[in-house]
């Protein structure tokens, strides 16, 4: 079902985005392609090989450089595709993720703009923690970076990271989690989407069983979490004539996760994520965009309906309760309609926009400008997805979850 128009906030925000980022929007328009174009795409070795020499040779972080929970962002900073200090602007994030990993501009823009609003100063943000390189313009306090964005950008049930309220931090690789991922695919030396879906289900179950603060939040749970799992294969997989969609083996996986040594004697060096030699990205004619992420998210959801459940444990392990989407959205979505069309992605994107005033209240100097900036990027995607119109949510539905309320009491919300 497609709405005739998005909300006035989204419309105003999109106009502001067009003025602020004309180059990005022009590129986004150029990426519109016929449904059958993918059938004609082939492997282009010269165009798809990513340079890791010269100015893009591996250069690990030094004192003051930021690295954080995202292995792909860390690797790009280590190879000079992002600024080496780990701080980048919206334009730089979009340019690097589309070039190095073949991300669609629409998806890159969503992630970059949301990161700037949630983790930065609306212009730039850190891929790690707080730094003077992200000044507090437009803000009432110091931006915390993606490492300080628990349940806003980063969330529980990560492929390799720990859980904030269990491990005390959520940005360093936890060897137990990486080893479990590695073990799952080492017999065939192949890490595909099905394997990653199975591992995601195991981590989701583990969180319910062990983490009293587990909270599957609107953006970090419904959008960022499935993306984090899908990205492992979609972006890290090495493309070739034999495997144009990519094949991910153990050595490439280790390189992107800063792991050295042999199985049973792995060593993790934080911040040393690197792009392997002779590594090939996606064909530029086949960007991984919002619709591609939606397809992967749906495929995972059909196997594990729990993935679509916003909610969490209520203070003890094994106490997971999901939010009723009908009560949360005043009837715009319900448990049945979430399984139809693009509605799950619509649900996550639109809830994230509606939750912004609460997240950013007392943080930014101009709340309306911040909300409009995010609404712009998200509004473009929700139009593309044909989303139902959601103009308000009942946030009282979140109050039963300590994984949500603890953020506010800790001063991180």
pLDDT tens string 156-189: 999 999 999 999 999 999 999 999 999 999 999 9
pLDDT tens string 52-109: 999 999 999 999 999 999 999 999 999 999 999 999 999 999 999 999 999 999 999 9
The beta-strand segments (E) located in 123-252 are 124-126, 215-216
Residue 7 has pLDDT above 90, yes or no: no
Chain-centre distance of CA 282, in angstroms?
A: 18
Residue 411 has pLDDT above 60, yes or no: no
What local confidence, expressed as pLDDT, does residue 341 receive? 87
d(CA 53, CA 45): 17
350's CB contacts (< 8 A; 6+ apart) are 378, 382, 387, 390
Beta bridge partners of 216: 311
List the structure tokens of 319. 């106490």
State the Cα angle at 197 between 75 and 211, rounded to 5°: 85
**Could you say which DSSP state residue 220 is in?**
I
**Residue environment code for 311-326, b if the CB has 16+ CB neighbours within 10 A, otherwise e:** bbbbeeeeebeebebe
Half-sphere exposure for 362 (CA within 13 Å, toward CB): 6
φ, ψ of residue 237 in degrees (nearest 5): -55, 135
pLDDT tens string 232-281: 999 999 999 999 999 999 999 999 999 999 999 999 999 999 999 999 99
pTM metric for this prediction: 0.90
Q: Which whole number is the average pLDDT over 8-19?
A: 34
Give the CA distances from residue 316 to residues 147, 168, 239, in Å, rounded to whole numbers and listed in that order.
25, 18, 44
Beta bridge partners of 103: 288
List the structure tokens of 101. 């990993």
Q: Could you tell me the pLDDT band of residue 335, with boundaries at 50, 70 and 90?
A: confident
Q: Could you tell me the pLDDT band of residue 34, with boundaries at 50, 70 and 90?
A: very low
What local confidence, expressed as pLDDT, does residue 42 receive? 87
What local confidence, expressed as pLDDT, does residue 409 receive? 57
313's CB contacts (< 8 A; 6+ apart) are 208, 211, 212, 213, 214, 215, 319, 320, 321, 401, 402, 403
Residue with tokens 């539905």: 397
Q: Which of 169, 94, 144, 168 is nearest to 360 (CA)?
A: 144
Q: How many residues comprise the chain?
A: 413
What local confidence, expressed as pLDDT, does residue 364 receive? 86
User: Domains of the chain by range and CATH?
Assistant: 8-409 (1.10.489.10)
Burial class (CB in 10 A: 0-12, 13-18, 19+), 151: buried
Helix (H) or strand (E) holding 100: helix 90-101
Mean pLDDT score of the chain: 88
Give the CA distances from residue 95 to residues 98, 155, 252, 403, in Å, rounded to whole numbers and listed in that order.
6, 25, 23, 34
Q: Could you tell me the pLDDT band of residue 408, with boundaries at 50, 70 and 90?
A: low
**Could you say which DSSP state residue 219 is in?**
H
List the structure tokens of 391. 């103009």
What local confidence, expressed as pLDDT, does residue 323 receive? 92
State the Cα angle at 374 between 369 and 375, rounded to 5°: 90
Q: Please say whether the beta carbons of 234 and 283 come within 8 A.
A: no
Q: Which of 275, 60, 183, 269 is nearest to 261 (CA)?
A: 269
d(CA 179, CA 183): 6
């Amino acid at each position: 079902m497609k709405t005739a128009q998005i909300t006035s906030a989204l419309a105003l925000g999109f106009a502001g985005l067009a003025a602020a980022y004309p180059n990005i929007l022009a590129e986004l328009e150029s990426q519109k392609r016929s449904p059958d174009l993918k059938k004609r795409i082939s492997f282009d070795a010269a165009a798809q090989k990513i340079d890791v020499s010269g100015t893009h040779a591996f250069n690990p972080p030094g004192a003051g450089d930021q690295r954080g929970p995202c292995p792909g962002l860390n690797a790009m900073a280590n190879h000079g595709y992002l600024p080496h200090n780990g701080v980048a602007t919206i334009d730089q994030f979009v340019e690097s993720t589309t070039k190095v990993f073949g991300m669609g501009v629409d998806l890159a823009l969503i992630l970059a703009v949301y990161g700037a609003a949630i983790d930065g100063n609306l212009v730039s943000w850190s891929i790690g923690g707080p730094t003077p390189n992200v000044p507090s313009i437009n803000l009432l306090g110091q931006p915390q970076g993606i490492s300080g964005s628990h349940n806003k950008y980063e969330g529980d049930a990560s492929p390799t990271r720990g859980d904030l309220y269990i491990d005390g931090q959520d940005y360093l690789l936890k060897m137990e989690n990486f080893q479990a991922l590695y073990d799952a695919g080492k017999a065939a030396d192949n890490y595909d989407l099905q394997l990653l879906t199975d591992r995601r289900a195991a981590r989701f179950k583990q969180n319910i069983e062990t983490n009293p603060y587990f909270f599957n939040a609107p953006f970090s749970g419904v959008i960022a979490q499935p993306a984090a799992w899908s990205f492992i294969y979609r972006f890290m997989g090495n493309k070739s004539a034999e495997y144009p969609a990519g094949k991910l083996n153990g050595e490439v996986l280790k390189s992107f996760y800063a792991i050295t040594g042999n199985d049973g004697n792995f060593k993790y060096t934080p911040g040393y994520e690197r792009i392997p030699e002779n590594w090939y990205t996606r064909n530029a004619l086949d960007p991984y965009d919002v619709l591609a992420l939606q397809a992967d998210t749906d495929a995972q959801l059909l196997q594990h309906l729990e993935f679509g459940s916003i909610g969490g444990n209520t203070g003890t392990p094994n106490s997971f309760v999901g939010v009723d989407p009908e009560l949360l959205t005043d009837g715009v979505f319900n448990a049945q309609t979430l399984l139809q069309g693009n509605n799950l992605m619509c649900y996550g994107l639109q809830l994230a926009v509606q939750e912004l005033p609460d997240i950013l209240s007392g943080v930014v100097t101009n709340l309306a400008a911040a909300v409009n900036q995010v609404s712009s990027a998200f509004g473009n995607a929700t139009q593309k997805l044909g989303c139902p119109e959601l103009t308000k949510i009942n946030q009282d539905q979140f109050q039963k979850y300590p994984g949500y309320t603890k953020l506010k009491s800790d001063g991180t919300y």
